[in-house]
Amino acid sequence: MRKPIVDIQEMITAIATLGGEITHIEPVQDGEESFAFRVIISGKKYVLRANHHIHGFEKDDFVCRRFAGPALPIPEIEAIGVLDNGVAWCLSVLVPGVTLQDLPVAALPSVTGAVDGVMKAMAAAPLDGMSGFGPFNAQGHGRYTSWKAYLESIVNDPLYNWQEAGKRVAMKRVVPLQEQLLQSIAACPEKRQLVHGDFGSNNVLTDGHLVTGVIDWSEAMIGDSLYDMANIFFWRTWLDCMEYQARYFEAFPLDKARLACYQMRIGLEQVYQTAIDGATDDLDWALLRCEHLLGLSR
């Protein structure tokens, strides 16, 4: 999805209604689907983001209010709104640090233990009042009736139009991956834990020793927390920060079957999304990565 068209003056006008004097605003590194700016209002530092949809920002606010604490640092949401052209915006408190993806390689081993601590905090987070499984909405209600239903949704949920995706990817290569996923799901437990859904690289901030913030909860789910570790393992050959984290976790006993299942689910999601978006290079990488996991490397 392309980033929204943003009129920075309209954004400034919107946040000016909150009160305070805006003394500085500058663009910063943003996400794949959003723009971001660093803003100073009455001496306090914020991040101002813009996206096509408000739902992800509302989830950020929900997760912050429910789960933020010393063990799980989540930036506070100051305000959320929608511009006249329908573009959503979110003003959140700026936390110090850089993303794991931007951290120098030499510094990565120093932060892996802190990342593990944050993952344990997510796994232990209480889910009182939340329901369902899989991606949840801004009220904490998941879309699926079971974790297994979410895992297999990439194959059988009408939400995924594989006929359309098949115009850009050879389904004869996708079907064996889908079949392997369905076979491995049976061994996965019905756990109800907080899952970030896109953890380990540009959504984790650090000062080089501690994790200072976990951001962008738009893909957050209810399910097995091992899914976040699987995300790290899936992307290990793509990003140095994922490789170093994977090496750290490999020193501990792991349920390799579950990790393999979740990596395949993550990979199929990436294959589908890149096929729909027409991102040919990313599609080729994701497909080859899945085939490598299945032992079908070409």
Across 30-47, b (16+ Cβ under 10 Å) vs e yields: bbebbbbbebbbeeeebb
| Closest among 193, 127, 182, 191 to 151, alpha carbons compared | 182
* Given the residues 60, 61, 198, 216, the one annotated as active site: 198
Beta strands in 137-274 (DSSP E): 142-144, 193-195, 204-206, 211-214, 221-223
Distance of CA 183 to the CA centre of its chain: 26
Report CA Rg, the chain: 19
d(CA 278, CA 32): 15
DSSP bridge pairs for 135:
221
Q: Are 55 and 138 in contact (CB under 8 A)?
A: yes
Active site residue 198: yes
Judge residue 248's burial from the number of C-beta atoms within 10 Å of its C-beta, 0-12 exposed, 13-18 middle, 19 or more buried. middle
What gap in Å lies between CA 75 and CA 90, rounded to an integer? 12
- Tokens 């001496």 found at: 43
Which residues are catalytic, by number? 198
